[in-house]
Amino acid sequence: MQTLRTESDKFRAEVTKQVSTYILAGFGIVAGLAWNEAIRSLIDYIYPLPQNGVQAKFLYAVVITIVVILVSMAVLRSNRAHDKKSRHD
C-alpha cells in the first residue's frame, strides 16, 4: 500500500511539474509575441520600408532566428553547468 501511495505522489508531482511548465511556456509565447510587435515597430520606425517588403521580412526572420539560436545555446550551456554542479554536490 505504501508503494502505491509513493507512486501516486510521484505521479501527482510530475503532473504538477508538467502543467506548470506548459503554463510558463504559454506566458513565454505571449511575451514573445509582444516583443515581436515591439521589434517590428522599432524596425519600421528606424528603417521605413514598403509595407509588404519581402526582403525586410526575411531579414527580420534571419536576425530573430540567430538571436533565438544564441539564447538557446546559452541557456543549454547554463543548464549543463548547473547539472554538473548538482551532481558533484
Question: What was the pLDDT predicted at 1?
Answer: 66
Q: Where does the pLDDT of residue 89 fall: very low under 50, low under 70, confident under 90, or very high at 90 and above?
A: low
Question: What was the pLDDT predicted at 73?
Answer: 94
Q: Which of 71, 4, 2, 59 is nearest to 32 (CA)?
A: 71
Question: What was the pLDDT predicted at 72?
Answer: 92
Q: What is the mean pLDDT of the chain?
A: 85
Mean pLDDT to the nearest integer, 47-59: 74
Q: What is the DSSP letter of 63?
A: H
Specify burial of residue 60 (Cβ count, 10 A radius: 0-12, 13-18, 19+): middle
The four Cα atoms 36, 40, 41, 47 give a dihedral, to 10 degrees, of 160
- Is the pLDDT at 20 greater than 70, yes or no? yes
Q: How large is the angle between the packed helices 54-88 and 2-46, nearest 10 degrees?
A: 140
Q: Rounded to an integer, what distance in angstroms lies between the CA atom of residue 20 and that of residue 41?
A: 32
